[in-house]
Amino acid sequence: MAVLSQHWIGRLLILAAVLLAPWTILLAFRLPAEHTSQHWDAAWVGFDLALTATVAATALGVHRRMLWTHTPAAIAATLLVTDAWFDNLLASGMREHVEAALEAGLVELPLALICLWIAANTARAIDAVDAARAALPQRSE
């Protein structure tokens, strides 16, 4: 049964990828170059809350030595790259473009790379935290 469902899941994902290509081309022609949006603030606040939650879950997972840490780390990396993309693409004026580029280059993309490394190397990340803890001077109580 599991093999059958894996077979169909794989086919479904291939179909989705094949259908996304013409859909993306269609959007390139149909979407306006400019668009005014209601709830712009709510969209970005919601996005940043999700980003905050995944980065916090990654930090908590590494700190508590949880093997599920790869999941929020991968999600956080994806959201960080997405944030950098949209910040730069939607910037208006020189000041916003410079700010978005600096945020992407100095914060979002480096943090995304760290999260990707954690996602791919969760056990090593946890071991690195353990080694750092062991190197700290012990408190006497």
Long-range contacts at 13-20 (CB < 8 A, ≥ 24 apart) = none
pLDDT band at 129 (very low <50, low <70, confident <90, very high): confident
Domain that holds residue 86: 48-135
Percent of the chain with pLDDT over 90: 74
Whether this prediction's pTM lies above 0.95 is answered by: no
In a domain, 39, yes or no: no
68 and 118 fall within a common domain: yes
DSSP 3-state of 139:
coil
Q: Is the pLDDT of residue 1 over 60?
A: no
Question: What is the tally of structural domains in the chain?
Answer: 2
pLDDT, tens digit, 9 for 90 and up, residues 41-76 = 999 999 999 999 999 999 999 999 999 999 999 999
Give the residue-averaged pLDDT of 86-114: 97
Number of H helices, E strands in the chain: 6, 0
In a domain, 37, yes or no: no
75 and 123 fall within a common domain: yes
Q: What is the pLDDT of residue 134?
A: 86
